[in-house]
Homo-oligomer: A and B are copies of this chain.
Amino acid sequence: MAEMTFGSDNHAGLVPEVLEAISSANIGHASGYGADPWTEAAEARLRDTFGDAAFALCLTGTGANVVALSLALRGWECVLAAKGAHIDLDEAGAPERITGSKIETVATPDGRLTPELLEGALRSREQHHVVQRVVSITQSTECGTAYSTAAVQELADWAHAHDMLLHVDGARLCNAAVHNGCGLGEVVPGADIISFGLTKNGAMGAEVVVARNPDLRGPIQNARKQATQLQSKMRFVAAQVDALLTDDRWRLHAAHANAMAARLASGIADVPGVSIDYPVEANAVFAVLPAARIEALAATHQFYIWDAPRNVARLMTAWDTTPADVDALVADIASA
Contacts and interface: CB of A to CB of B under 8 A. Distances in A.
A94 B4 contact: no
Interface stretch (A144-152, A153-161, A222-230): A222-230
A108 B3 CA distance: 46
A93 B66 contact: no
Nearest to A36: B1
Interface stretch (A17-25, A179-187, A271-279): A17-25
A39 interface: no
Q: Interface SS of chain A: helix, strand, loop or mixed?
A: loop
A57 interface: no
Interface residues of A, number: 78
A75 interface: yes
A28 interface: yes
Given A228-B66, A236-B205, A127 B222 contact: yes
Interface stretch (A8-16, A45-53, A257-265): A8-16
A31 interface: yes
A58 to B, nearest CB: 8
A60 interface: yes
Contacts of A13: 25-30, 233
A85 to B, nearest CB: 13
Interface stretch (A110-118, A128-136, A244-252, A289-297): A128-136
A76 B92 contact: yes
Interface in A285-330: 302, 318, 320
Interface in A205-263: 205, 219, 221-233, 236
A174 interface: no
Contact of A60 (B102, B130, B199, B228): B228
A152 to B, nearest CB: 25
B23 A11 contact: no
Contact of A231 (B59, B66, B221): B59
26 contacts: A1-B31, A5-B29, A11-B29, A13-B26, A19-B22, A19-B23, A23-B23, A29-B318, A33-B128, A59-B231, A62-B225, A62-B228, A70-B75, A75-B93, A75-B98, A76-B97, A89-B129, A90-B129, A93-B100, A93-B226, A96-B96, A97-B98, A97-B100, A100-B100, A127-B222, A130-B226
